[in-house]
Amino acid sequence: MGTAIGGIISFLVSFAVMASIYAIFSMGLNVHWGHTGLLNFGVAAFFALGAYTSALVTSPMPTGVLANYVKQAFGLNAPFLVGVLAAAIVCGLIAVLMGLLTLRLSEGYLAISTLGIAESIRIFFNNERWLANGPQGLVGLPQPLHGLVPPAHYNYIYLLIVLAFMALIYLALERGIRSPWGRVLRAVREDEVMAGADGKSVFLFKLQSLALGAMIMGIGGALYAHFSAAIQPSVFEPLFGTFIIWAMLTLGGTGNNKGAILGAFIVWALWSWSTFLILKIVPPAFATRAPFIRYVFIGLLLVIILIKRPRGIIGEERQVSKF
């Protein structure tokens, strides 16, 4: 009995870590789509860049026999926080480059362009083995504060780290969107022409929003890399890298950071728990196909929510500036 409860708790902790990481992506996407109206379908690009940057910055260069099997462009062996910071900076810079190329496109075209860029980046990591070991990816990534507790209990420590990042990002964003800067972003979202007529550089504000959201996503990517301790390009395919995050934000409530977090927890709970429940119900002969019921389940849920509650579970609040 005791081990059963222990198993449930450790499952809950690793669930909470992943859901919080997804909540960070969801808040990053909320900066783009919720607050500025940018259709970024390339979340996976920043997910991958953040994860790979932090992995390369924090891991040592492989030596000896290992060097024959693991190729990577560099390995700086730097501390965890340096990796996270580097991930944010790289994602911010790449976002500025992407923005200069694509932000003048109208919304639908922007969506598909960012999707295309994200896929191209994933394919690049997959093909260029010298960069980050190609399809096999990087394994055994360092984990912060690892020596502190026995490995079996490490996830508790990591949950605290992830929750701290989530809280900091939430508080910073809440301040940001209530500031005059946040008001300009919403003005751009509601009516670009009017915002431009008021003397605001629409392009510059969009670029700032793209970079800020991308930096948050980069942090999310870095946190993911050090949690799973192994990354490979297949993690960053559009379904799990981008679309599930859109489902989270839309479900929770676009434009509301609490909604972004709530949506991440709900969708991830449905996704990771439904397998368990389904496997308990269906006959063993059907076990290999049963997990796919969750595709049907989440797909239908998304459709129903969009029809019944188009603004999500908790929609956008009225933003009133605090003086």
Partner 1 sequence: MPELIVYGIVLGSIIALGSVGLTLIWGITDLFNCAHGDQITVGAYIALLFASLFSRIGFLQAKVGPFSFHWGVLLAFIPAILISIGLAILIDRWVYKALRRAGAHFITGFIASIGVAWALRGLIYIIWGADFHFYTTGLRPMLFLPLGIKLRVDEIFIVIVAWAAVAAVYIFMLKTKMGKALRALADNPSLARVSGINTERMLMWAWGIAGVLIAIAGVLYGIETQLRPEMGWIFLLPLFAAVIMGGKGSITGALAGGLVLGIAQQVSTEWLMPTYKPAVAFIIMILVLIFRPKGIFGRRKV
Return the residue of 7, 73, 89, 124 that touches partner 1, per CB under 8 A: 124
The reply to whether 117 sits near partner 1 by the rule CB under 8 A is yes
Length of the chain as a residue count:
323
The C-alpha R_g of the chain, in whole angstroms, comes to 20
The verdict on 206 binding partner 1 (CB under 8 A) reads: no
Write the DSSP assignment of 250-319 as a string of letters.
HHH-TT-HHHHHHHHHHHHHHHHHHHHHHHHHS-GGGTTTGGGHHHHHHHHHHHHHHHH-TT-SS-PPPP
6 is a contact residue toward partner 1 (CB under 8 A) = no
Q: Which of 139, 302, 313, 314 binds partner 1 (CB under 8 A)?
A: 302
Q: Does position 101 bind partner 1 by CB under 8 A?
A: yes
To partner 1, the closest distance from the beta carbon of 95 in angstroms equals 15
Among 120, 201, 234, 321, binds partner 1 (CB under 8 A): 120
What is the DSSP code string of 1-22?
A: -HHHHHHHHHHHHHHHHHHHHH
Query: Considering only 80-88, 104-112, 185-193, 256-264, which stretch makes contact with partner 1 by CB under 8 A?
Result: 104-112
Q: Binding of partner 1 at residue 293 (CB under 8 A)?
A: yes
CA–CA dist 67, 288 (Å, integer): 38
- The residue among 43, 35, 40, 29 whose CA lies nearest residue 255 is 35
Query: Is 79 one of the binding residues for partner 1 (CB under 8 A)?
Result: no
Residue 65, SS3 per DSSP: coil
303 binds partner 1 (CB under 8 A): yes
The interface region with partner 1, picked from 60-68, 178-186, 218-226, 299-307 by CB under 8 A, is 299-307
Question: Is residue 314 close enough to count as binding partner 1 by CB under 8 A?
Answer: no
Q: Is 307 in the site for partner 1 (CB under 8 A)?
A: yes
Q: How far apart are CA 16 and CA 260, in angstroms?
A: 15
Does 35 sit near partner 1 (CB under 8 A)? Answer: no
CB under 8 A: which stretch of 103-111, 140-148, 170-178, 199-207 binds partner 1? 103-111
Q: Does 123 bind partner 1 (CB under 8 A)?
A: yes
| Residues whose CB is less than 8 angstroms from the CB of residue 90 and which lie 6 or more positions away in sequence, other chains included | 49, 50, 53, 218
**Distance between terminal CA atoms of the chain?**
55
Instruction: Give whichever of 109 and 273 is closer to partner 1, judged by the CB atom.
Output: 109
Q: Out of 297, 313, 314, 315, which residue is the one contacting partner 1 (CB under 8 A)?
A: 297
The residue behind tokens 């609040």 is: 317
243 binds partner 1 per the rule CB under 8 A: yes
Q: Quick one: CA dihedral 19, 21, 27, 31, positive or negative?
A: negative
Q: Is 74 in the site for partner 1 (CB under 8 A)?
A: no
Buried-exposed string 87-98: b where 16+ CB fall within 10 A, e elsewhere: bbebbbebbbeb
Written as one letter, the residue type at 226 is H
The single residue among 288, 320, 322, 323 that binds partner 1, judged by CB under 8 A, is: 288
Q: Is 273 in the site for partner 1 (CB under 8 A)?
A: no
The minimum distance between CB 125 and partner 1, in angstroms, equals: 11
H-assigned helices in the chain: 2-29, 36, 43-58, 66-69, 80-102, 107-127, 129-132, 154-178, 180-190, 192-197, 202-228, 238, 244-252, 257-281, 293-308
Out of 23, 115, 185, 262, name the contact with partner 1 by CB under 8 A.
115
Q: Which residues bind partner 1 (CB under 8 A)?
A: 33, 39, 101-102, 104-109, 111-113, 115-117, 119-120, 123-124, 126-127, 238-239, 243, 246-247, 250, 288-290, 292-303, 306-307, 310
